[in-house]
Amino acid sequence: MLRIKNVESGYGRLKVLKKVTMHIRAGEIVTIIGANGAGKTTLLGTVSGLIPARSGEILFDMKEIGKLPPEKIVFLGCSLVPEGRQLFAPMTVKENILLGAYPQYRKKRGDQVREDLERIYMLFPRLRERERQLAGTLSGGEQQMLAIARALMARPKLVMMDEPSMGLAPLIIRDIFSIVVKLRGEGSTVLLVEQNAKAALGIADRGYVLETGRIIMAGTAEDLLSNREVQRAYLGRDLDAEGTM
Amino acid sequence: MYWEPDKECMNREELEQLQLERLQSTLNRVYAHVPFYRKKFDELGISPEEIGSLSDLPRLPFTTKEDVSGNYPYGLFAVPLREVVRIHASSGSTETSSVVGYTRNDIAMWSKLVARILVAGGVTKDDVVQVSFRYGLFTGGFGLHYGAERLGASVIPASSGNTVRQIQIMKDFKTTALVSTPSYAMLVADTIRELGIPVSALSLKYGLFGGEPWSEKMRREIQDALGIIATDNYGLSEVIGPGVSGECLERNGLHINEDHFLVEVIDSKTFQPVPPGETGELVITTLTKEAFPMVRYRTRDLTSLKAGDCPCGRTGRRMSRLTGRTDEMLIIRGMKVSPTKIESLLFEIEGQEPNYRIVIDRKGAMDEVTVLVEAAAEASFGQERRHVGRTVETIRKRLTHELGVTVDVKLVEKKVLEPVDGKAMRVVDLRKL
């Protein structure tokens, strides 16, 4: 579904991504884990067209999207749930959700929007309850749900999520991640960027480890979870310190 | 039957994307963690970032057997020793042996690859697999053992040696698949014949043989003598051990596990790639190994890549069965002689058991070559001397003619040419002493 080859990008003179190559097949949950500043957000920004790729190929559904503006990429079916939610705080929950339906209106599929909204409310009953509330007054977990809901309104084939667990309590994180699993169950493909490597690898099929802009490891979630370097650096575990002697 | 159909039958485009991803992450890791590679890359002025395609591979430096032994024992490990759960070493056929390590993930991956090869060779979880490779530092025993266990077969860790007992086990435990070196399989076949055990008393169906080159003639003999389908498989400890490639039941080339190993076949003089079908030295880059990654390892094994698809459905390219070693060419009185050539000639001369040893010695300034050939069963039992003499003469003439070097031939009794450490000892060069 998504195939990235040798992508390099960055900000100004700073090159963040160095020859990043990766792929996602339809129906997969793939996670990119890495420390702060490794380039995870830059990678999602580059795929979604917010940051221009300096070189490399980005193929979405076998179509080169590296030079397309962000809105075209959304139209093609690739949506981003940005880091820090980026909601419109003074607008209501419903208004925020409907903003995500913009591509549907553009495609003159206004009739579908109601249907989609219903589907979203089924997935996030909490948002239905709060539909008239201002987005800024929601709890962190609810805001994250709203950000995901907004992205889903574009009917994406691929949902990219940037740190959905950020700033959330463990129980809420579990809710959010169970939604990700549900989305895949409904046929979506998910690219998940996370600092919470343990939670992300817990639901992902495969993962990539990004370190200072380079992919240093790739494998099944199972393999990465049992890799001691990953355990030490990203899972906060040190088996040797855990008294396995 | 496949073990991992989605991997073994992957389309080329998808495979190449996966290979590139894995190559790049492997290079990033070796550059960061193995001083040897960093130094080599820096000397060539190449950084992992410059490798943007599989066709950039030739820009990377080779790694040789000397590099491995020069970093004895742990110099090429890419993880701290505490992450290593297994250590193997190649037998010391050269000055020092290669020490290799495996993380827990490496062992899991290795087991899967060996399971693939077992399945390709006809083995299923319902089989009783007798592993008659030597267990120990050599990767053959444990490699096949873990793979067969992973597959779910019933594994008998028989190890090598004590052939009569092995045959007893084979008979009583109803072994259906034998895993060993081809020369050990020959020894088993001979011993069964001597013991007067009919093949029908055994339950053997499949044999997976590796660890040394063997000819098609030898395959036919093993298959006939043991009533099995014999497949060839290939691997070497510097790369992983068994599990690099293996034949399917078509027996027409060894499918390479290309999602884990990147292979090149090069001319060992010019280092240029040779076209498919042409023989050259096999060069392997590992794509998924954690503890002991290898970049462009020169195996010194001679093979060629086969063109075309295999009817079995596996998309992994096939390499031909090994045709020799780059470093085993014998220079005899200035002439290059390949032991494999001698082997194939011996097999062509009918009536000869394919068990032999080449002994080279220097008398004064002259190299002398003696080929010891094990006598055929009939010949050793009261055949007339004249007949034996005639056979020896036939072999001597044929070898001398084909090799361009005068060769002496001696028939020896059975059991004289016993395998050493489970591997047939084919060449003894006394000149080096």
Quick check: B214 pLDDT over 90? no
CB distance from B104 to chain A under 8 Å?
Answer: yes
Q: Which of A220-229, B18-27, B400-409 shows the lowest per-residue confidence on average (mean pLDDT)?
A: B400-409
With an 8 Å Cβ cutoff, are B17 and A5 in contact?
yes
Rounded CA separation B307/B298 (Å):
22
Rounded CA separation B142/A191 (Å):
38
Q: Best of A228, A244, A245 to disrupt the B interface by mutation (most B CBs within 10 Å)?
A: A228
φ, ψ for residue B301, nearest 5 deg: -90, 140
With an 8 Å Cβ cutoff, are A216 and B25 in contact?
yes
Q: Which of A141-155, B87-101, B343-357 shows the lowest per-residue confidence on average (mean pLDDT)?
A: B343-357
Q: Residue B318: is it exposed, middle or buried by C-beta count within 10 angstroms (0-12/13-18/19+)? A: buried
With an 8 Å Cβ cutoff, are B104 and A229 in contact?
no
CB distance from A106 to chain B under 8 Å?
Answer: no
pLDDT band per the 50, 70, 90 thresholds, residue B311: very high
Interface of B with A in 354-383 (CB under 8 A): none
Q: What is the pTM of this model?
A: 0.83
Q: What is the pLDDT of residue B334?
A: 67
φ, ψ for residue B368, nearest 5 deg: -120, 135
Q: Which of B20, B28, B103 sits opposite A5 (nearest CB)?
A: B20
- The three-class DSSP label of residue B160 is coil
Quick check: B96 pLDDT over 70? no
Q: What is the pLDDT of residue B433?
A: 45
A3 CA: distance to closest CA in chain B (Å): 8
Q: Which residue of B has its CA nearest to A219?
A: B288
Q: What is the pLDDT of residue A240?
A: 56
Rounded CA separation B18/B14 (Å):
6
Q: What is the pLDDT of residue B390?
A: 74
With an 8 Å Cβ cutoff, are B25 and A215 in contact?
yes
Q: Which of B21, B53, B109 sits opposite A215 (nearest CB)?
A: B21
Q: Residue A35: is it exposed, middle or buried by C-beta count within 10 angstroms (0-12/13-18/19+)? A: middle
Q: Which of A6, A217, A240 sits opposite B52 (nearest CB)?
A: A6
ipTM over 0.85: yes
Find the DSSP H helices in B85-207.
Answer: 104-120, 139-151, 163-172, 182-195
> pLDDT tens digits, residue range B228-282?
999 999 999 999 999 999 999 999 999 999 999 999 999 988 999 999 999 999 9
Q: Which of B21, B83, B108 sits opposite A22 (nearest CB)?
A: B21
pLDDT band per the 50, 70, 90 thresholds, residue B160: confident
Q: Which residue of B has its CA nearest to A226?
A: B105
Q: What is the pLDDT of residue A112?
A: 86
Q: Which of B14, B49, B79 sits opposite A19 (nearest CB)?
A: B49
Find the DSSP H helices in chain A.
Answer: 40-47, 70-76, 93-99, 102-106, 110-123, 125-129, 140-152, 170-185, 197-203, 221-225, 228-234
- Token pair for B358: 């080449």
Q: Which residue of A has its CA nearest to B80?
A: A229
B115 CA: distance to closest CA in chain A (Å): 18
pLDDT band per the 50, 70, 90 thresholds, residue B380: very low
With an 8 Å Cβ cutoff, are A228 and B83 in contact?
yes
Residue A66 Cα distances to A4, A5, A24, A195, B286, angstroms: 9, 11, 16, 26, 31
Please report which helix (H) or strand (E) contains residue B319, including its range.
strand B318-319
Q: What is the pLDDT of residue B213?
A: 78
Q: Which of A5, A218, A226 sits opposite B25 (nearest CB)?
A: A218
Residues A203-215 have a mean pLDDT of: 95
CB A208 within 8 A of CB B17: no
Q: What is the pLDDT of residue A244?
A: 46
B139 CA: distance to closest CA in chain A (Å): 22
Residues B414-422 have a mean pLDDT of: 75
Residues B34-45 have a mean pLDDT of: 96
φ, ψ for residue B279, nearest 5 deg: -80, 140
pLDDT band per the 50, 70, 90 thresholds, residue B404: confident
> pLDDT tens digits, residue range A63-108?
999 999 999 999 999 999 999 899 999 999 999 999 988 877 777 7
CB B131 within 8 A of CB B145: yes
Q: What percent of chain B has pLDDT over 90?
A: 64
With an 8 Å Cβ cutoff, are B28 and A23 in contact?
no
In sequence order, what are the beta bridge partners of A9? Answer: A17
Quick check: B94 pLDDT over 70? no
CB distance from A214 to chain B under 8 Å?
Answer: yes
Residue with tokens 């992919």: A215
Rounded CA separation B246/A139 (Å):
58
Q: What is the pLDDT of residue A109?
A: 76
With an 8 Å Cβ cutoff, are B105 and A219 in contact?
yes
Residue B76 Cα distances to B38, B41, B62, B87, B89, angstroms: 11, 14, 14, 13, 13
With an 8 Å Cβ cutoff, are A219 and B52 in contact?
no
Strand boundaries in B322-375, DSSP class E: 324-325, 330-332, 335-337, 356-363, 366-374
pLDDT band per the 50, 70, 90 thresholds, residue A238: low
Per-residue buried b or exposed e for B51-77, using 16+ beta carbons within 10 Å of the residue's own CB = bbeeeebeebebbebebbbebebeebb
CB atoms within 10 A of CB B350: 8
Quick check: B328 pLDDT over 80? no
